[in-house]
Every structure is written in structure tokens, then in C-alpha cells.
Chains A and B, each alone.
Chain A
């Protein structure tokens, strides 16, 4: 495949006079792992909203697998192979871990199929596998709402993987996690890249550095700089808007 998986072309989003995104361009190839950082209000979440169809851009185009996503409903975009993890964990709190995952792996996702077909052995195996990735086997029948914050984050990531998307959009996966959990999450995301294309948004510099991947810096709605973490940290413009003093960061 010689075309990019996802291409954002000159995306602008105008919220009643406030430009949340301004001529944003971004290209992701198959198997990429990409981190996006930026100060608060840089438009990081809006930019995911545009890709997943939650917000319609005022201008520009989103090309996924050579087709435009503009004007498509969220669930159709999800079915095309874009999975999204939200900033705060959003799982079905009143369902068990296993039931949450069962909903994410079900295919086709039509009402009739869900009503008539029951889960097959291969699905149960897949659920077991997903739970083993994120260490939740022992919680299979526990109500998801009773999980700890970190476990909820992981369950959501597992649900995302269960959808088997080509592109995973991961918004602040390590917010509120312990250092150990953060490391495990970084390893998990790195292992997913390759088979999948992964785009991670986060604030946590240590985490981004651990991902060891190209970084895009978003500032006031457009891409300020792209490059490796070390390049980014040397860039005077980036330092000015976001990183602060490099000595403290590198320590």
C-alpha cells in the first residue's frame, strides 16, 4: 500500500468565531505510531472529534483509506476501522468486563445479529485474550463501574483493540495512572503499532518519550513542528509555547 492510511488536509474548525483548528495537515502511514502533544486548548481533542465524525470541519478534508470521511456518521466511521479512546475512561459501567468486551468484538454490529446470534467459542477465546493483554482476567465478571481508574483505562483500550480498527486514536491514556501502569500502557501501545496505526495524545512527557516515536506539536490549532522527541525539545519555538526550559525537562 503506497497511500497514507489517514490524511488531514487543511482542516479548519470554527466554533462561532473561535478557530479551534486552523489549516491543520497531518499524514499517518500504515503501522505508524504517532504522538501528538500541545498545550491546553491547542485543539488536540477537537482534532480527534473531526476524524471520528463528532465535529464537522468548517473547511478541509479527512481522507481515510483513500476515501473522504466528511459527512459520515460516527458509527459508520467506527465500522470503517477507526477506534477511539476518550480522555476520561468511557466504558459501560453497568456491564461486566466480559460484556463490555463482547460488545466491542461483535460483528456485524446490527440489532438483528445481536438478537439472534449468541457468542461463539472463538469470541469467548478472543475476549479471554483481550483480558489477558490488559491483566483483567480475574475481573471478567465484575461490574466495570467497580474497577479502579487504571483498570477502566485499560478496559477501554482493550475494547478499542477488540474492535480491531486500522487506526487507534488514544486520548490521554495515562491520565491518573501510576508510574508502573504508565510504563505498561506505553509498552502495550508500542506493541499495537505495526499491526495497527496508533495516534496518541498526551501531556505526560516521560510517557511520550517512552513511546519513542515521531511527535507532532499542536499549537493554536495547527501543527507547529513534527519530529522526534529530542528534535522537538531542541526547537526554540516549541520550547517557547509549550515545553518550558529544556534543562528542567531533561534533568
Chain B
């Protein structure tokens, strides 16, 4: 047993060394364009982790994670716009001039502070998710009604942000790639390299954080809420608090994700709050594997990478592939690719196509010296 566990820890160590080496070396291995894409997809993995916590573990299918994702992005973009607004008239971001706004709207003021911004990127979405969640969960709205409600909330936010030109540049969004940070253009190669590294590290930290949350009884209560909420209640737990907390955590993760995505794609706009984008987040988790955490990360990164490769080769075909992938997962792999592998699906497949000959159907029986089977 001890040999096995030391062997296992060696494998673990090797994997981690490899991952860290790859992260450090990625900028020299990948062209700038690909590196930037990978960085963006890594940041999307963080929002997917949140989706896995609320959907995979707690069973709440939110179709409105785009709200919190976009809020994080707007927080980051507002700070960057203000940080480089000095040369514009009135010392406020350029777009205000288009609408004749001369004074900075009040809610922009605190985003002059970098510390406030770094906190608000995750805290603001977390608070809004907590408030929204508390009201919904307190009234025992769940299942498909919860999904519809979150989607409706998403549309409300989308329409609000889309229409407010004078406050946040409406449908045009806020650009970040031409803004300044530490005396560098945010869109410059060196800044993008740093954002890639920050994204990669934050994905790992977010993964550890999510694992820490679900490691023990707290995670078990989440699973309990998913499987039988009434039982949780009659055991003396208040499901409303647990659901509010986990929804709020998922919102915070979405905010971090949105901020990282914004600085790497160069713009935040109400497009982050469209219905298809929030549904895609769910698809990444469904394909990767619900309730596995690692599946959410792999799903987000690999599906998005596939999306960009496929779209380059065969434009317009991606939607069909994504739809097909979702149907495949729902019908054949209900636990996602990772869940399927963990349950030994790969071995079965290898056997079916004749590569793997040995198939253990029964557990081996212990036999004593007389050749009798021990019971």
C-alpha cells in the first residue's frame, strides 16, 4: 500500500512539474496569437469551475452566469479606461465625449483605485449573485424555474447595459487593448504574456479553492441538496444558506474569469451577456463532466480551442459540431467525458474495438489451498 501511494505521489509530482514547466514555457512555444487564445480559454475555465459547483454539485442550472462574467469584465475595463484617461478632455474616458457627457458618472469614481478594482472584480459579482440567489432560493424556486429566472435576469442585464451609452458606452462596450497599465499598452505582447501567466495560475488556484469547498461535509451537503433537498432540511440544515453561498462563490469566480477574459480579448461589451454564451458555459461543463471540477477546466479549454481551430478551417460549421457534441454527451455520456473515463468507459471502448483483449467482468475470487473459494 505504501509503495503504491508513494508511486502515486511521484506521478502527481511529475504531472505538476510538467504543468508548471508548460505554463512557463508556453510563450516561447506558441505564437503570440495562439498564446492569447489559450490565455482567454484558461480564463473561461474559471467561470466553468463556478458552473460546475452550482450545477454539477448543487444541481442548480444557472443560465445567467454571463451577468457575473460581464460585471467582472466591466470592473476591470472601467479601471483601465480611467487609468489612461488623462490625455482626454475633462480627464474622462474618450467615449463620454461622443454623448456630450462632461462629468464622470458617480459609480466610476471608485474605479480610479486599483485596490478597489481588484476587490470589486470578484466581490461585486459575488454580492449581486448572493442577493439574487437569496431571493430566489428563499422562495424555494428551483429546477427549470430557476433556470428560466436566471436567463430572464441575464436578459434584463443585457438590455440595461446595451442601452446605457452615457454610462458605460452601451452596445459598443469598453475597450481595454489601447489602455495603459504600468506604462505599457494592455494589448502589447509583454502585457498579454503576463495575463496568460496570471490566468494559468488563477485557474490552478480556483481549482484548489473549489476542491477545498467540496472536499468534505460542505460538499456533501451540496450533493445532498442536489439529490434530496427536503431530507437536508429535515436533518436540520438550511438549504437556502448553502445555495446562496455557493451561488455567490460561482458569481465571484465568474467575475474573475470575466476580468481576465476582457483584458485578453481587448474589450468588454454587452455581448458577454448574450443568452448563447451563458449556455455554452453549461455545455463546457456537461461535456467535460459534471461534478468533476477537472472536467470543467478541460471542457472549457478544449472545446474553445476546438472551436477556434474548426472555425478557421470550416467557418460556420462549429455550431453543428457543438450541437452534436452536446447531444452525444446527453445521450451517450451523461456524466461527461471525464466522468465516463473515471467509470472505466475507455477500457470498455478499447475492448469493443478489439485493442484491449482482457476484460475483467467479475472480481477475482480468493481461493484457498484446497482450491475452494473463500466466502
Contacts and interface: CB of A to CB of B under 8 A. Distances in A.
Contact of B233 (A78, A103, A104, A114): A78
Q: For the side of the interface on B, what is the size category?
A: 20 to 34
Interface in B182-234: 213, 216-218, 220-221, 223-224, 227-228, 230-231, 233-234
A178 interface: no
A91 B238 CA distance: 17
Contacts of A185: none
A79 to B, nearest CB: 5
Nearest to A156: B231
A54 B224 CA distance: 19
Given A111-B241, A114-B216, A115-B218, A78 B235 contact: yes
Contacts of A148: none
Contact of B217 (A54, A75, A114): A114
Contact of B234 (A84, A110, A114): A84
A118 B245 CA distance: 19
A59 interface: no
Contact of A90 (B218, B220, B231, B237): B231
A32 to B, nearest CB: 21
Given A103-B220, A114-B216, A114-B217, A92 B227 contact: yes
Nearest to B225: A92
Given A90-B231, A111-B245, A75 B238 contact: yes
B277 interface: no
A178 B371 CA distance: 35
Per DSSP, chain B at the interface is: helix
B227 A103 contact: no
Contacts of A83: 234
Most buried by A among B217, B223, B228: B217
B236 A78 contact: yes
Contacts of A91: 228, 231
B313 to A, nearest CB: 41
B218 A104 contact: no
Interface in A15-69: 52, 54
Contacts of B230: 54, 74, 90
B146 interface: no
Max chain B C-beta neighbours (<10 A), residue from A99, A119, A159? A99
Given A75-B233, A75-B236, A163-B235, A106 B217 contact: yes
A247 B79 CA distance: 87
Contacts of B238: 73, 75, 109
Nearest to A165: B236
A163 B241 contact: no
Contacts of A92: 220, 223-224, 227-228, 231
B242 interface: yes
A111 B242 contact: yes
A224 B52 CA distance: 53
Contacts of A241: none
B216 A163 contact: no
Contacts of B236: 75, 78-79, 109, 163
A235 interface: no
A231 interface: no
A67 B128 CA distance: 37
A141 interface: no
A94 B216 contact: no
Given A90-B228, A94-B227, A95-B224, A115 B233 contact: no
Interface in B239-254: 239, 241-242, 245
A90 to B, nearest CB: 5
A213 interface: no
Contacts of A142: none
21 contacts: A52-B234, A73-B233, A74-B230, A78-B234, A86-B231, A92-B227, A93-B227, A94-B223, A94-B227, A95-B220, A102-B217, A103-B221, A103-B235, A110-B241, A111-B241, A111-B245, A114-B216, A114-B218, A115-B213, A119-B217, A163-B235
Interface of B: 213, 216-218, 220-221, 223-224, 227-228, 230-231, 233-239, 241-242, 245
Interface of A: 52, 54, 73-75, 78-79, 83-84, 86, 90-95, 99, 102-104, 106, 109-111, 114-115, 118-119, 159, 163
The 7 closest A-B pairs by CB, nearest first: A78-B236, A74-B233, A114-B218, A114-B217, A115-B218, A92-B224, A79-B236
Given A75-B234, A92-B228, 4 more contacts: A74-B234, A91-B231, A111-B242, A118-B216
